[in-house]
Amino acid sequence: MQFDDQLIKRLREAQHVVFFSGAGASAESGVPTFRDSHNSFWVDFDAGTFATASGYYANPDRVWQWYAEQRLKLRALTPNPAHRVIAAWQNKASNVTVITQNIDGFHQRAGNHKVIELHGNIGTYKCFDHGHPAEHDANISDEKPPHCQQCGGLLRPDVVWFSEELPAEAFTQAKHSSANCDVFVSIGCSLEVYPASTLPINAAHGGAYLVQVNPHATLLDEIADCNLRGKAGEIMPLLWQAVWREQLP
Ligand SMILES: [Zn+2]
């Protein structure tokens, strides 16, 4: 693949790069999106039941068990080369921000030490009433939701459900990084999910060089400085080599 000279120059000289990943990045690891109804992964996924607070309150045990099953399935999958390149980039360059819309934790498993998660993480929990965080540990039952150790309220998966706001601190950090970066790389984002979809536009307004990696056309095509059409797992390792002129660690 022949990359544009300007793209390589901007990436090499950037003081701050943002990588922004969406469902397409995880799809290459075998995770279909919630919106893809013809899949065998999110089996029996019904948004009203499994992705709303009222669905959870109506049947907490069932929802809790369903999330436990999905976590098990995710554990059997592995990050793909795009995740590994993003992790290597964060270790190589001085200021790299990783923002994701995915809840699967693949960036961390690939080696990223800091990730801004806009839609939460399926491996962590919080209580309903106060949002007290709780880590997954072996003592947490997959059958029944436990209670918060701080306030006694019911725990829930720490993911953003429909009609819920994005976690405020994460979104503030994401907006700030996007508006102040030199290069913004959108990977596998459909840009149909508001308000996360505003981040690349913030970046462009802030003067960043906007790169898109996606096998499909998206709303970003027109404003991106560079559209790399194809699978992120194939393009990102080539991009790494073109910029750094060394093998991916
Ligand atoms: Zn609590």
Residue type at position 125 = Y
Q: What b/e string do you get for 63-90 counting C-beta neighbours within 10 Å, with b at 16 or more?
A: bbbbbbebbeebeeeebbbbbbbbbbbb
Is the per-residue pLDDT at 160 higher than 80? yes
- What the block records as the tokens of 245 is 């002129």
Averaged pLDDT, 101-126: 95
Distance 75 CA to ligand 1 centre (A): 27
Burial of 93 per CB tally in 10 Å (0-12, 13-18, 19+): middle
Summary mean pLDDT of the chain = 91
More confident residue, 83 or 44: 83
Distance 156 CA to ligand 1 centre (A): 10
Residues near ion ligand 1 (Cβ under 5 Å): 127, 130, 132, 148, 150-151, 153
What size, in residues, is the chain?
A: 249
**Of 52-56, 80-84, 96-100, 193-197, the least confident:** 193-197
Is the per-residue pLDDT at 32 higher than 90? no
Domains of the chain, with CATH numbers? Answer: 1-30+78-119+167-249 (3.40.50.1220), 32-76+120-159 (3.30.1600.10)
- What the block records as the tokens of 32 is 């279909």
Query: Which H or E run contains 19?
Result: strand 17-21
Distance 54 CA to ligand 1 centre (A): 18
* pLDDT for res 101: 94
Is the per-residue pLDDT at 107 higher than 80? yes
Averaged pLDDT, 230-246: 97
* pLDDT for res 173: 98
Distance 176 CA to ligand 1 centre (A): 29
Binned at pLDDT 50, 70 and 90, residue 1 comes out as confident
* pLDDT for res 43: 56
Burial of 125 per CB tally in 10 Å (0-12, 13-18, 19+): buried
Name residue, tokens 């029944």.
144
Averaged pLDDT, 166-191: 96
**Residue 144, number of CB atoms within 10 A of its CB:** 11
Distance 130 CA to ligand 1 centre (A): 5
Express as a percent the part of the chain with pLDDT over 90. 76
Distance 158 CA to ligand 1 centre (A): 12
Catalytic residue set: 119
Is the per-residue pLDDT at 38 higher than 70? no
* pLDDT for res 190: 85
Is the per-residue pLDDT at 136 higher than 90? no
Strands annotated E in 96-229: 96-100, 116-117, 120-127, 133-135, 155-159, 183-187, 209-214, 226-229
Q: What is the pLDDT of residues 69-90, one digit of tens each?
A: 999 999 999 999 999 999 999 9
Alpha-carbon gap, residue 28 to 40, rounded angstroms: 15
Distance 235 CA to ligand 1 centre (A): 43
